[in-house]
Every structure is written in structure tokens, then in C-alpha cells.
Amino acid sequence: MLKEADVRATDSEATRRHLDDLLAAAGAVVEHLELEDVLGRIVESAMTLVGARYGALGVLGDDGMLERFIHRGIPRDVARRIGDPPRGTGILGAVIAADAPVRLDHLGSDPRSVGFPAQHPPMDSFLGVPVRVRGEVYGDLYLAERIGGGFTDEDEELIVSLAAIAGIAIANARLFERARTREAWNAALADVMGALLVVDSADAFDVITERLAPMVGADLVILATLDASESALTVVAATGRGAASLHGRTIPLDGTLAERALRSGRAASAPHVPELSERPALGPTVALPLLSGAEALGVLTLARRDGGRPFSDDELEMGFVFAGQAGVAIEVVRGRDDRRRLELARDRARIARDLHDHVIQRLFGAGLALQAVASSADGDTVAALTAQIDALDEAIKEIRTVIFALGAGDGHRGGGTRERLLEIASDAAHHLPSAPRIRFEGAIDTLVGPDLAEDLAAVLRECLSNVVRHADATTVDVVLRVGDDVTLTVADDGRGMPADAVPRGLTNLGERAALRGGAFELGAGASGGTTAIWRVPIDEEHS
């Protein structure tokens, strides 16, 4: 029989061994900073500490059920066959409800047990211990199948101690994750702000989505702006999975996550995006209001894949700060572009004044002088002088068109007939060797009403489109003349319409003219090419 001193020595040696094991387990837990690594190491250290075959750590969600389940001991292929991880029912739910250690020698005999799913390995002995972080239950640590028998009192004490150390490690990992999150958002903000300084406002939205997506681990980033009625959003930029199909899409604001963000003026999150429910690959989502002072500019939406990590409170907070700074940056870019447009408009106005006050007047004076000379010249000389006078007259008309184009600005034009036709000609210039030459004659803005202007725009667009597709022309001349009627002439020096061309568009032009009591003619030009003439009576009601 052992003497009392021998028993005390044996107990002291066992206690020292347990303490050494606990310190080793604690060291393995606290040496990691990544939260996922910390959680996995807690489970592995607990299994080693008490000799358990299986271990798991369930993280509680806001609903009190298991949100995440980190397990060890079950092979991956077996885990895949088992299916979805547990949510916290049965004996796992009993540990959650008890908020205290639960130790069982025979798991299957406990009335709270609901059994195991198919393919699950058998488990008998069980120990569950809550893990607390700053006084609140973070989750529960589960161990099963102790090698050599059931779990003992000493095992429970060791796991309770390890759970306390695990709470400290989890808190540190959370602090590290928060600092890293803030660093990532700050880096994204600095990157976007720097990029915005060198782009136009038209590209500012693309810069935000393209730079932000990889920085915050988002699978899809959408930037949408409010329409004039503030009842719908228009997607102006998108980056990520399926982004191409979202560009230009209009989304009603009512009942959306974006509306929550705009109404509250704060970040709003959801497990998925209802307004994009046809995209099942999307999971955790956050909507960030883009604000400039009290003015709402739009919404920035970040989404991760289905089953991805939810956005944390820190990410929501930093995302809101980012959205506020991005809104200010967008306003700065817009203001800079407005100043550039104002400076350009001033330069255009000055050039237009100089052309009108100096160049045209000199040309007009030269024409009058030539007319005076022609009045006393012989026949051949008169013909030559008249030709030069006509050339000067044509030059004056073209310069007046240039003056009007300069006054129309750089694409921010009004809705007048001249402006619309100039804009269409400017768009066609990108696909032709030289820009179409366009000339206006008569009181166009006085006698051409809005409806007729709409038809003229459609006719010119169709004619120039045909020139681009079929004519292989080098020059195009456009003349809009308003006198007794309205006549739009488009002449090119190309090879003419091909014989197999489908005249659907030309038929439409003829129908447009016929509805107004006019006609459309298409034929060969005087010096080759094709000439299209669309002629209709003046809109009497408008005039």
C-alpha cells in the first residue's frame, strides 16, 4: 500500500504534468493572431490536452444558434458526406442553453441527444464547455471520444482553464482583425482618392469600384446613382461577378437594402441582396450611402459570394467612413470638371467672337469689293469674279456653322435643332476619314418645331449610318435649308449603295417624309457618290 507521502508526491507530479500540458496548450493558442487560425488551434490543443479523438468549436450568432463550426478529427471526405454543419440543436443546444460545462459518459443515452446524421462516426463520451470573451459567451468548445475512457473531473478543469485562455486569444485576434480591417479600408480610400485626382468625373465611378473590390475581398461592387425623382437607382459602375449585365440597369428604390442605407444615412447589411435575387452566387451584402453633406449622391453596394464571410461591425463602420470620403471626392472631381468646362466655354466664346467680328467681316468686305469690281468688268472676268464671290459666301456660311458649334459647348448642348444635328455629325466623325461638313441656311430654330427636329435628327442619323456602313466615302456634306420648305441634304463621294443592301432604314425615311406631306429621294451625286434629299413642308403650327 502506498504511503501518504507517496500519494501526495504522485498527485503533485500529476498536477505538475497537467499544468505543463495546459501551459503548452495555452502557448499553442496564443501564438497565432489570425482569428481562423486561433479557433482551429483552440480545438486542436483541447483534443491534445485531454486525449480526445474529436473536437469542435461552435461560434454563436446573433440568434443564439451556431453561426460557424470549426471541427477537427473527422476526415474532410467524411465531413462532406455528412452535409451541413450543425446549427445547435440536441446536446450541442443543451450546452448553449446551460451556459456551463456539460460532461457525459454515454452521449447516446442522454435524453437531450437527437442522434447523428448518416455517415457520422460514432461518439460516446462527451464534454462541452462555454468559451467567453470579455464576459460574453462567444461559443462552445466540444470534445468527444476520450481515448482510454470517459472524461474526468481533471479533464473538465483543464478544458475550463483552456477556454478562459482561449477567450483572451480570441479577443486579441479580434483586435488584430479590426486593426487589419481599418488598414485595408484606409489603404483603399487612399488609393481611390489618389486615382480620382487624375481622372475625369466620367471615370470616377469605375475607379471606385475597381480599386475597392480587391481591397475588401468583395466578389461584386456596384455603384448606383439616384435618378431625378429619387425613386430609383441607376447602376453607373460595377466590378466583379456578372458586373457586365448590371451596367445601366435601373433598380426601383422602394424596399431595397439601398433604401435602408439612404434613409438611415448609415451602412446597412443583409445576408443577400433581394433586388439582385436572380444572382444566387451573392451572399453577405452591405449598402453604403454616398453623401455630399446632406445631399445623397447614390449607393455603393459590396457583396461577397454565397457562404462568404459576413461583413463585421468594424467593416460596416469603416465602409461608411469610406463612402463619405468617396462622396466628397466625387464632388471635388465634378467641381474640377465644371471649372474646366467653364474655361473651355470661355475660350470657345472668345474664338467665336473673333471669328464673327473679324474674320467674317473681312470676308464680307472682300466679297463686296469683288462685286464692285465685277460690275465694270468684261464677261469672262465677271464669271471668274462671281465664282470667287460664291466661294466667299460658302466660306462665310461654314464659318457661321463653326461659330455656332463653338457656342454649343463640348457635348453639354441644349435641345435645339442645330445642336442635335451637330452632335450627330460629331458622333459619326469617329467612323469617317474626315468629319462631315454641315451647313445651316434659314431661320432654323424659329421655323423648325420639336417634332420636326426629332425627325430631322433621325433622318441624319440614318443617312450618316448608311455612309459609314456602305459608302466607303472620304467626305460628307450636310446641308439643312429652311425656306419655303425644310430640306435636309446628305451627299458623299463614296461608291453608292450596294445592290444587295436591305432598304429598311431608307423605307422608314420615306415614310417619315410621307407622314408630313413630303418626299425622300436617293440618287447618284453630281460628281459620284450618293445624295439623299429629305424634304417636307414647314410645321405651320409651330411657325
User: Given CA atoms 514, 518, 524, 530 in this order, what sign does their dihedral have?
Assistant: negative
Confidence of residue 489 (pLDDT cuts 50, 70, 90): very high
Max Cα–Cα distance, the chain, nearest Å: 151
More confident residue, 504 or 488: 488
Closest of 477, 473, 534 to residue 509, by C-alpha: 534
Render pLDDT for 298-352 as a digit per residue (tens, 0 to 9): 888 888 887 777 777 777 777 777 777 777 777 777 777 778 777 877 777 777 7
**pLDDT for 394-420, tens place per residue?**
777 777 666 665 655 444 444 578 878
Residue 267 has pLDDT above 70, yes or no: yes
What is the rounded average pLDDT of the residues 98-125?
A: 81
- Find the DSSP H helices in 130-200: 153-196
In the chain, which segments carry CATH 3.30.450.40? Answer: 17-178, 181-328
Q: What pLDDT shows up at residue 214?
A: 76
Mean pLDDT value across the chain: 78
Which pLDDT tens digit goes with each residue over 366-384?
A: 777 777 787 777 777 878 8
Q: CATH code for 417-543?
A: 3.30.565.10
Rounded CA-CA distance 212/187 in Å is 10
pLDDT at 501 over 80: no
Q: Which fold has domain 181-328?
A: Beta-Lactamase (3.30.450)
CATH superfamily of the 17-178 domain: GAF domain (3.30.450.40)
Specify the pTM: 0.46
Coil, strand, or helix at residue 423?
helix
* Statement: residue 47 has pLDDT above 80: yes
Supply 249's cell numbers: 440597369
Alpha carbons 455 and 51: distance in angstroms, whole number = 86
Please classify residue 449 by burial: count the beta carbons closer than 10 Å to its beta carbon, then call 0-12 exposed, 13-18 middle and 19+ buried. Answer: middle
Residue 17 has pLDDT above 90, yes or no: no
Q: How far is CA 391 from the centre of its chain?
A: 54
Question: pLDDT category, 517, cuts 50, 70, 90?
Answer: very high
| Ranges of CATH 3.30.565.10 domains, the chain | 417-543
pLDDT confidence tier of residue 541, bands split at 50, 70 and 90? low
Band of residue 11 on the pLDDT scale cut at 50, 70, 90: very low
Bridge partner list, 485: 537
The single-letter code of the amino acid at 198 is: V
Per-residue pLDDT reduced to its tens digit, 183-225: 877 777 777 777 766 666 556 778 778 877 777 778 888 888 8
Rounded to the nearest angstrom, the gap between the alpha carbon of residue 441 and the centroid of all alpha carbons in its chain is: 46
pLDDT recorded at residue 241: 80
